[in-house]
Structure 1
Amino acid sequence: MNHLPKPAAEGLRTRVFQIIFESDTPLAKGFDIALIVAILASVLVVMLESIASLRADYGALFFWLEWGFTLAFTLELAVRLYCLERPWMYLRSFYGIIDLIAILPTWLTLILPGAQTLVVVRVLRTLRIFRVLRLMQFVGEGRLLVDALKRSLRQIFLFFFSIFMLVTIFAAVMYLIEPREAGFTSIPMAIYWGIVSLTTVGYGDIVPVTPIGQAITVVLMLTGYSIIAVPTGVFSAQVIRAIREDRYSDEACPGCGHERHEQRAKYCLKCGTWLDETTPDPRLSEEERKVWRHKHGGEKQDDEGSPPAG
């Protein structure tokens, strides 16, 4: 979330804000944990309600439980907006959108019966558990994966577009040579068969019966085995690249030119040269320090806590 929520004013709104949006106090942490338990319970109710035997016996109970959860979550969202300085900004944020979507399905049942099954999206609200349990470092790891996915989107799109063209060609050929009784009633149906065969799923609802069609199917399946790992490889390469960029520096050693040092490295791994060119090497003698300061125009000064040269 780009915009950090702020309390609307001092007093009651600030105290409510500290309970709802923060987790530094026992009361605030208790509220978050209770909220997560309620979210999971509401999702469980929807799952149980989808079982015909349970719905027949406890349909009324499930109905009132779902409306109870919905009213509670609606009230909670209203209180969240009440204690915020810029409520509309929160509604446009990730968590705000999730909070809004979490209550809409049940209200939609008033005009669209059956929409309550969509309340399973409430499980996304449990992402707040990262904040409650101090696990925000996992959010950073998630951002790393998202960044890697964004970087590989073009390669993956090109791959899938090429695969789609290949499947379309195979499907057109199969539509020409296979009888309609085998299931190849149209090119779109043949494309469906081609995707199922290429991914080696093999549902068996459409099966070629001619020798040529069976041979083409074998070729398509073997092709699927050979290329199915390409998107995974592209994505994995981008993940490794992102990890390296996050961990390693691109600056070369001024002594030997070696690259790929860790971000926190002070000395070169190969030649031992001091890497931070903005400060003098603590191992320099006093005379060498004077030369270094003179060379750099006296702009950089030694740190007070630098150990004396030995």
Structure 2
Amino acid sequence: LMWNVEYDPLAVPPSTTQFINIPASMWWGIVTLCTVGYGDMFPVTIAGRAIAGVTMLCGLALFGILTSVIGRALMASLFGEEKEPEPQVIYLDAPSDDPAPVLSGLERLVVLRSAGALNEDEFERAKAQVLATGA
């Protein structure tokens, strides 16, 4: 692509670009994508500079992604995989054929508070409601 943009065989005077053939252009692409950038070849046209900018950004993204993948693999192998805890299932009204016991109103509130679903204020308000209704 860079060779097509930079090299013009019919230019008068002859083009002074260093992108004289496809292998030379591929060399520039590899050097630029690897973020080395020797400076031995550089685009002179606006389209060539735009392609060079995109190539440089792709090189940065490539190395960023590669670094992230390798870092994550090293962390997993050194410290083990961090797995998220599975959510705890609380049966409040179990069907009759379910072996899990059906809890009374106060027991439900205690289970919800111990699971962290209710704070102390919510627990006290709900407890007063349960005691008032007799559930």
Question: TM-score, structure 2 length as denominator?
Answer: 0.48
Q: Which has the higher contact order (CA 8 A, sep 6+)?
A: 2
Question: TM-score, structure 1 length as denominator?
Answer: 0.23
Bigger Rg, which one: 2
| Structure holding more helix per residue | 1
